Amino acid sequence: MIKNINVALIGNPNTGKTSVFNALTGLNQKVGNYPGITVEKKQGSCRLDRVTKARILDLPGTYSINASSMDESVVVELLLNKNNPDYPDVAVVVTEVENLKRNLLLFTQIKDLEIPTVLLINMSDQMQRKGIKIDMEKLEEKLNTKVVLVSTRRNSGVDQLKQILVEYRSISTTPLMNPKEIDPTYFENLEKAFPNQSLYKLWLVITQDVNFMQLERKKVEDTTHFKTQTKTYLKKLQQRETIKRYQMINQILKATYEVNRKEAKDLRIQLDNIMIHKFWGYAIFFLILLMIFQAIFEWSSVPMDMIDSSFAQLSEWIKNQMPAGILTDLLAEGVISGLGGIVIFIPQIAFLFLFISVLEETGYMSRVVFLMDRGLRRFGLSGKSVVPLISGTACAIPAVMATRNIENWKERLITILVVPFTTCSARLPVYLILIALVIPDGRLLGFNYQGLTLMGLYFLGFLMAILSASVLNNFLKSPNKSYFVVEMPNYKLPLLKNVLLTVWEKTRSFVIEAGKIILAISILLWFMASFGPGKNFSNAEQIITQEYADQPIEPEVLECKIAAFKLENSYIGVLGKTIEPLIRPLGYDWKIGIALISSFAAREVFVGTLATIYSVESDTQETIKNRMAGEKRKNGLPRFNLATGISLMLFYAFAMQCMSTLAIVKKETNSWKWPTIQLFSMTLIAYLAALLAYQMLK
Statement: residue 143 has pLDDT above 80: yes
Which of 197-201, 368-372, 692-696 is least confident? 368-372
Per-residue three-class SS string for 225-287 = CCCCCCHHHHHHHHHHHHHHHHHHHHHHHHHHEEECCCCCCCHHHHHHHHHCCCCHHHHHHHH
Q: Are 385 and 375 in contact (CB under 8 A)?
A: no
Q: Are 674 and 656 in contact (CB under 8 A)?
A: no
88/490: higher pLDDT: 88
Statement: residue 105 has pLDDT above 50: yes
Statement: residue 216 has pLDDT above 80: no
pLDDT of residue 217: 38
pLDDT of residue 89: 94
Statement: residue 215 has pLDDT above 50: no
**Backbone angles phi and psi of 443, in degrees to 5:** -135, 150
Find residue 147's DSSP bridge partners: 119
422/296: higher pLDDT: 422
- Of 293, 614, 589, 290, nearest to 428 (Cα)? 293
Residue 35 binned pLDDT confidence (cut-offs 50, 70, 90): very low
Rounded CA-CA distance 353/687 in Å is: 33
pLDDT of residue 690: 94
- The CA distances from residue 68 to 211, 232, 234, in Å, are 17, 15, 14
Statement: residue 33 has pLDDT above 50: no
**Residue 558, H or E segment:** helix 555-568
Averaged pLDDT for residues 431-450: 76
Rounded CA-CA distance 370/386 in Å is: 10
- The CA distances from residue 617 to 258, 320, 322, in Å, are 72, 18, 22
Q: In sequence order, which ranges of 112-230 are alpha helices (DSSP H)? A: 127-130, 136-143, 158-166, 184-193, 199-208
CB atoms within 10 A of CB 157: 20
Handedness of CA 240, 246, 249, 255 (dihedral sign): negative
Distance of CA 323 to the CA centre of its chain: 43
Instruction: Round the average pLDDT of the chain to a whole number and report it.
Output: 78
454/68: higher pLDDT: 454
DSSP β-ladder status, 117-122 and 132-134: unpaired
pLDDT of residue 394: 67
64/516: higher pLDDT: 64
Which of 55-64, 294-303, 362-371, 454-463 is least confident? 294-303
Question: Of all residues in the chain, what percent carry a pLDDT higher than 90?
Answer: 16
Rounded CA-CA distance 209/652 in Å is: 46
Using one digit for the tens of pLDDT, what is the confidence trace for 217-262? 343 344 445 544 566 777 788 888 889 999 999 999 999 988 875 5
Long-range Cβ pairs for the range 293-298 (8 Å, 24+):
293/393, 293/394, 295/351, 295/355, 296/348, 296/351, 296/352, 296/355, 296/394, 296/425, 297/425
Averaged pLDDT for residues 176-197: 83
Q: Are 598 and 610 in contact (CB under 8 A)?
A: no
Burial (CB count <10 Å: 0-12, 13-18, 19+), residue 581: exposed
What is the distance between the terminal CA atoms of the chain, rounded to a whole angstrom? Answer: 79
- Of 7, 9, 38, 687, nearest to 407 (Cα)? 38
Residue 536 binned pLDDT confidence (cut-offs 50, 70, 90): confident
Which of 72-86, 535-549, 661-675 is least confident? 535-549
583/34: higher pLDDT: 583
Give 513-539 as a DSSP string: HHHHHHHHHHHHHHHHHH--SHHHHHT
Rounded CA-CA distance 153/155 in Å is: 6
Angle between helices 346-362 and 280-321 in degrees, nearest 10: 150
Statement: residue 29 has pLDDT above 90: no
Using one digit for the tens of pLDDT, what is the confidence trace for 303-340? 877 877 787 778 778 877 787 777 777 777 667 766 77
Residue 296 binned pLDDT confidence (cut-offs 50, 70, 90): low
**Residue 90, H or E segment:** strand 90-96
465/603: higher pLDDT: 465
pTM passes above 0.75:
no
Averaged pLDDT for residues 549-562: 74
- The CA distances from residue 51 to 20, 82, 157, 164, 469, in Å, are 22, 24, 21, 14, 54
Which of 329-338, 496-505, 592-601 is least confident? 329-338
Statement: residue 184 has pLDDT above 60: yes
pLDDT of residue 36: 41
pLDDT of residue 621: 40
- The CA distances from residue 490 to 123, 271, 321, 497, in Å, are 11, 10, 59, 19
Q: Are 624 and 610 in contact (CB under 8 A)?
A: yes
Residue 265 binned pLDDT confidence (cut-offs 50, 70, 90): very low
Statement: residue 652 has pLDDT above 80: yes
Query: How would you label 366-396 residue by residue, b for 16+ Cβ within 10 Å and e otherwise?
Result: bbbbbbbbeebbebbbbbbbbbbbbbbbbbb
Rounded CA-CA distance 465/379 in Å is: 10
pLDDT of residue 687: 94
Statement: residue 452 has pLDDT above 90: no
6/489: higher pLDDT: 6
Residue 165 binned pLDDT confidence (cut-offs 50, 70, 90): very high
DSSP letter (8 states) at residue 2? -
Residue 430 binned pLDDT confidence (cut-offs 50, 70, 90): confident
**What class has domain 3-170?**
alpha beta
Q: Are 177 and 104 in contact (CB under 8 A)?
A: no
Residue 68 binned pLDDT confidence (cut-offs 50, 70, 90): low
52/130: higher pLDDT: 52
pLDDT of residue 486: 60
Which of 15-29, 241-255, 391-405 is least confident? 391-405
Rounded CA-CA distance 564/572 in Å is: 12
Question: In the chain, what is the greatest distance between 2 CA atoms, to the nearest angstrom?
Answer: 103
Rounded CA-CA distance 470/487 in Å is: 26
What are the residues whose beta carbons fall under 8 Å from the beta carbon of 72, sequence distance 6 or more? 60, 62, 63, 64, 65, 66
Rounded CA-CA distance 608/439 in Å is: 21
Which of 30-44, 81-95, 678-692 is least confident? 30-44
**Residue 299, H or E segment:** helix 280-321
Statement: residue 622 has pLDDT above 90: no
Rounded CA-CA distance 161/120 in Å is: 8
Rounded CA-CA distance 594/577 in Å is: 8
Strand order in the sheet with 90-96: 29-33, 40-47, 52-58, 3-11, 90-96, 117-122, 147-149
Q: Are 275 and 369 in contact (CB under 8 A)?
A: no
CB atoms within 10 A of CB 346: 18
Residue 146 binned pLDDT confidence (cut-offs 50, 70, 90): very high
Coil, strand or helix at 93: strand
